[in-house]
Structure 1
Amino acid sequence: MTATEGARGRAPAAGRGAPPLPVKMVVAGGFGVGKTTAVGAISEIRPLTTEAAITEVAAGVDDLSHTPGKTTTTVAMDFGCITIDPSLKLYLFGTPGQERFGFMWDDLVQGALGGLVIVDTRRLDDCYAAVDYFEHRQIPFAVAVNAFDGRVEHELDDVRWALDVAEHVPVITFDARERGSVRDALLVVLELALARAEN
């Protein structure tokens, strides 16, 4: 069963023209891994972002060595949406990546069907907190390795081992800049969440 077939089975048995089923999904990960980019690439509306300029103080706290061109950072959330098909609409909430904004996560994640944890393999340490968060709250999630410059630094099996994620957690590659690639990654999470709901 595909994600859209599973979601369609849960849609209200209304007549033609019924509104799509709204589903909340969270896009999480460390600082500068591509969360804002992914939401912006897929959203059918102009995404709402809470980007703020990186100050000298923040630059001294956040590691910019792998993102030297980054001048802004998310300080609250990103928001966008995408209609998967006439029966299903995803509402995307991107979390801030810095640990000091972690207090916002509980509110952003409340009611979410699942999560996409974006990973930069050049700095895996930055995503441990997001993986732990979803594991401890038993929220279905997938790990999406962002292919910066079209490549990843490590094999997916090595990423799984390094993050110590269970076998049932999908570990995939994607490109946060490409709409189709982001859509495919979100569908992986959706299928996982729907399968969990059926058990």
Structure 2
Amino acid sequence: MDFKNCENAVDDPSDEGPVVRHGPRAEDHLPDTANAAVKIVIVGGFGVGKTTMVRAVSEIRPLTTEETMTQAGIGVDDDYGSDSKTATTVAMDFGRISITEQLVLYLFGTPGQERFWFLWNGLFEGALGAVVLVDTRRLEVSFDVIGRLEERGVPFVIAVNDFPDAPRYPTGELRTALDLPEYVPIVKCDARRRASSRDALMTLLHFLHSLAGAPA
């Protein structure tokens, strides 16, 4: 192992070489002021930007479970964008963001390939809500995702990821195409940008707050 390239290696005062410090980095520790944590799931079809969103918005080094796409997936997996996409999530993505000094969100990104959807059961355990990332070039891949959330009774918002070559539709047309009730928020999002991804998460939190205050 080349310790000179190890991220947690530091110089030894004895000048006998670098010392490797194991464990989380200082910035990975949960703030002492945090007293509330919420689990949020980021879902969507294959290649809609879930891993990108977790990476962009997470204040800690995100955990990803990406594997290289191979010939074995041909005819089984969605191959949209395979010319540029070389890896796919096979278990989950994980990140964390502090909304305030007291409130922390734990983010879990689900795998998009349908053959890995059996993992959703565990990922949705204890989740307060979900952000559904949508690609307007392939709205059909969102239908089953939304259906599963509705079956589970998980509140969600729609975040339309702003791909450069994706068509733009009025919100009303998107709501009709996705067969969504009027109360489900639909927002635009650039999953590559932290501020935009954070805004999508805030939309979900405001939506959850409005549901909590709604009469039974």
Aligned equivalent of 1:97: 112
What corresponds to 1:161 in structure 2?
176
Q: CA deviation at 1:135?
A: 1.3
Which of 80, 88, 93 is the equivalent residue of 2:103? 88
What do you get for the CA RMSD once the two structures are aligned?
A: 1.5
TM-score (norm 1): 0.87
Query: 1:134-173 maps to which residues of 2 (within 5 A)?
Result: 134-149=149-164, 152-173=167-188
Say whether the 8 Å CA contact 1:146–1:152 is kept in structure 2.
no
Shifted more, 35-44 versus 131-140: the winner is 131-140
The residue aligned with 1:60 is 75
After superposing on structure 2, the runs of 4+ consecutive aligned residues of structure 1 that deviate more than 2 Å are 17-20, 59-68, 150-156
Tell me what 2:204 maps to.
Answer: 189
The CA deviation at 1:198 is 2.6
User: Residues 67, 165 of structure 1: CA spacing in aligned structure 2 closer, same or farther, 3 A cutoff?
Assistant: farther
Counterparts of 1:2-81 in structure 2, within 5 Å, are 18-81=33-96
Partners of 1:151 and 1:127 in 2: how far apart? 15
Contact in 1 for aligned 2:135/2:166 (Cα 8 Å): no
Q: Following TM superposition, by how much is the alpha carbon of 1:106 offset from its aligned partner in structure 2, in angstroms?
A: 1.3
Unaligned runs of 5+ in 1: 1-16
Among residues 125, 129, 132, which one is paired with 1:110 in the alignment? Answer: 125
Contact kept, 8 Å, 1:28 with 1:97, in 2: the verdict is: yes
Report 1:124-135 matches (<5 A): 124-135=139-150
Report how far residue 133 of structure 1 moved: 1.4
From the CA coordinates, give the structure whose radius of gyration is larger: 2
Give the partner amino acid of 1:115. A
Cα deviations by residue, 1:170-192 (Å, 9 ceiling, x for unpaired): 11110000000000000011111
- Which of the pair has the greater relative contact order for Cα pairs under 8 Å at 6+ separation? 1
What does the per-residue CA deviation read over 1:92-126, in whole Å, with 9 as the maximum and x for residues that have no partner? 00000111111111110111111000000101111
Count residues in correspondence. Answer: 183
Q: Is the 8 A contact 2:77 2:114 kept in 1?
A: no
Please state which structure has a larger fraction of its residues in helix: 1
